[in-house]
Amino acid sequence: MPQTATANILTILETDFSGVVEEWLGTQVKEGVKRSDLFSDSESRGQNQELLKAFVKGIRAGVVNEEFSLDDDAWEDLRAVLADVSKERVGRGVTPTEMATFVLALKAPLFKRLEAMPGVEGGKLIRDVLMVTRLVDAFAIYTNEIFIGERDQIIERQRQEMLELSTPVVELWDRVLTLPLIGTLDSARAQEVMENLLQTILERQAEVVIMDITGVGTVDTQVAQHLLRAAAAVRLMGAECIISGISPMIAQTMVQLGIDVGTVSTRSSIRTALSDALQKVGYVIKTSEAS
Amino acid sequence: MSGVTSINLVENALLVSIQDDVTDTEIVELQETLSNRIAKENVKGVILDISSLEIVDTFVGRVIAQLAGISRLLAAETYVVGMRPAVAVTLVELGMYLPEIRTALSLTHALSQLRRA
């Protein structure tokens, strides 16, 4: 009888590798976490085989005196495979619970085989079961960590994209800029918007800036504060600021909140704001004689 | 009169260029020199060019506001031109909206506004 704590586990995995994979898949089906709607059978099997292969490799080299850490070099393969699988699953919309249960499902086939092994009973059986539990638990926890990390990356990327997408400064005419604001205006975005706007004023030597808030859902004191600060900075740069797109609803809220816009001009629609702006820089809009 | 700050007559306005390395003493001296020149030359406006100013604090902000107040009393409008974006953001963050000054993008812009006034 081999002496190391993982010997029995390794024996099982080496002699009956495909059996374990099949039963692992079976347990996943039973637990309801095998997303047949997202992955084909062969795809799932392939993933499981690769994961298990890396898992075996890790056990063989990475467990010393019953101690192990998934951060060690021996587990590098498992981490790499796991990263791929998690990325794939996050992308297809698998939940964290499903992901953890998916890994934990590996316990059942291993326990069953340990139990059936000749000469493994009583204290030895408990010892081996404990070892399997520790290994698979660590595996599952690590999976979840990678899974969450993967999601965080997606969130961060989307946040960045939103920031970039949401601050376009458009040159409408010579010396007339417009900034169509859409969505919510928090401090970080307001800062980004302001810097972007001031830089563009400098580059284009714009005299009038129209900040259009048609797409801003709600204007509370904080949003108003950001808008007015941006308008003040625009004025200090030497340009003029018109806030347009103030709906009757928003006008009422602003007055109820006691927001004083001071000398900043406000317009209800971008249409009137544009004609004012053009007038300020010396243009008139008129219908052509033909019509 | 300090060496780093120059005052020149342009059309009917005094052009004051404030340099980046201006010290607090120099800027206080400038107040005095400038008020004398406004009174003597009977100008319609004062143009403060701060395009080389990269850093402002509340002191500079207050001095600019005071300069504007002085010129207003002497019947001249103050225009601040060429403020950098970072400076504008800082002033707004310090809560100094400088309502007493007028602003313009450039010297040309300020002069055309002065002519219209």
Q: Is the pLDDT of residue A88 over 50?
A: yes
pLDDT value at residue B105: 92
B86/B21: higher pLDDT: B86
Given a cut of 80, is residue A1 above it in pLDDT?
no
Point out the domain boundary residue: A118, A141, A163: A163
pLDDT value, residue A201: 94
- Residues B89 and B64: their CA atoms lie apart, in Å, by 16
Residue range A132-147, pLDDT digits in tens: 888 888 888 888 888 8
Mean pLDDT for B57-65 is: 88
Those residues of chain A whose CB sits closer than 8 Å to some CB in chain B are 194-195, 198-199, 201-202, 205-207, 229, 232-239, 262-263
Which chain A residues have a beta carbon less than 8 Å from that of B82? 238
Which of A110, A137, A163 is where one domain is finished? A163
Q: Is residue B43 a part of any domain in this protein?
A: yes
DSSP A121: -
Whether A205 maps to a domain, the answer reads yes
Examine the pLDDT at A243 and tell me if it is beyond 90.
Answer: yes
Number of domains making up chain A: 2
Contact: A237, B88; criterion CB under 8 Å? yes
Query: Averaged over A150-170, what is the pLDDT?
Result: 83
Mean pLDDT across the stretch A236-248?
Answer: 93
Choice between A291 and A252, residue whose per-residue pLDDT is larger: A252
* Residue A126 shares a structural domain with residue A237: no
**What confidence category does residue B60 fall into, taking pLDDT thresholds of 50, 70 and 90?**
confident
- Residue B2 above 70 pLDDT? no
**What pTM does this model have?**
0.63
Phi, then psi, of A221 in degrees rounded to 5: -60, -40
Nearby residues of A230 by Cβ (< 8 Å), 6 or more positions away: A190, A193, A194, A197, A211, A241
To the nearest whole Å, the CA of A288 is away from the closest chain B CA by 30
Which percentage of chain B shows pLDDT scores above 90? 37
Mean pLDDT score, A181-185: 83
Q: Which helix (H) or strand (E) holds A282?
A: none
Cβ pair A201:B87 closer than 8 A = no
Task: Name the nearest CA neighbour of B29 among B53, B55, B8, B7.
Answer: B7
Q: Do B103 and A229 touch (CB under 8 A)?
A: no
Check whether residue A74 and residue A197 sit in a common domain: no
Q: What is the mean pLDDT of residues A54-63?
A: 83
CB-CB neighbors (< 8 A) of A282 in chain B? none
Interface test with A, best of B78, B97, B111, B114 (most A CBs within 10 A): B97
**Helices marked H in B1-117:** 24-41, 58-73, 85-93, 107-116
The pLDDT, as a whole number, for residue A123 is 82
Tens digit of each residue's pLDDT (9 = 90 or more) over A110-120 = 888 888 887 77
Judged by CB atoms closer than 8 Å, whether chains meet at A233 and B81 is answered as no
Confidence at A176, pLDDT banded by 50, 70, 90: very high
Q: What is the CATH number of the domain that holds B43?
A: 3.30.750.24
Q: What is the domain range of residue A121?
A: 7-163
CB contact under 8 A, A237 and B103: yes
Q: How many CB pairs under 8 A join A and B?
A: 57
Residue that has been written with the tokens 């009917």 in this structure: B12
Contacts of B114 (CB under 8 A, 6+ apart): B11, B12, B13, B44, B45, B47, B77, B79
Question: Per the structure, how many domains does chain B have?
Answer: 1
B42 part of a folded domain:
yes
Whether residues A18 and A133 share a domain: the answer is: yes
Average pLDDT, chain A: 85
Which of B89, B93, B111, B112 to mutate to probe the A interface, most A CBs <10 Å?
B89
In the predicted structure, residue A106 carries a pLDDT above the cut 90? no
Q: What would the two tokens of residue A158 be?
A: 């989307």
Among A163, A185, A201, the domain-final residue is A163
Q: Indicate which CATH number applies to the domain containing A64.
A: 1.10.490.70
* pLDDT at residue B4, rounded to an integer: 57
Contact across the interface for B105 and A235, Cβ inside 8 Å: no
- Measured CA to CA, the distance from residue B75 to residue B24 in angstroms comes to 26
The residue of chain A nearest to residue B89, with distances taken between CA atoms, is A233
CB within 8 Å: B88 and A236: yes
Mutant choice from B80, B87, B103 vs A, greatest count of A C-beta within 10 A: B103
Instruction: Give the model's pLDDT for residue A107.
Output: 86
**In this complex, do A207 and B97 lie within 8 Å of one another by their Cβ atoms?**
no
Return d(Cα B117, Cα B45) in angstroms, integer.
10
A236–B83 CB contact, under 8 Å? yes
Residue A288: inside a domain = no
Residue A64 near residue A72 (C-beta atoms within 8 A): no
Residue in chain B closest to A208 (alpha carbons) equals B105
> What domain range includes position B28?
6-116
Mutation target to probe the B interface, by most B beta carbons within 10 A, among A234, A236, A240 is: A236
Residue B108 with chain A: CB contacts under 8 Å? none
Q: Is residue A56 part of a domain?
A: yes
- Over residues A87-114, the mean pLDDT reads 83
CA B62 to CA B66: how far, in whole Å?
A: 6
Question: For B71-113, how does the pLDDT look when each residue is reduced to its tens digit (9 = 90+)?
Answer: 999 989 999 999 999 999 999 999 888 888 999 999 999 999 8
Task: Tell me whether residues A238 and B83 touch, CB distance under 8 A.
Answer: yes
Using an 8 Å CB-CB cutoff, list chain B residues near A195. Answer: 85, 89
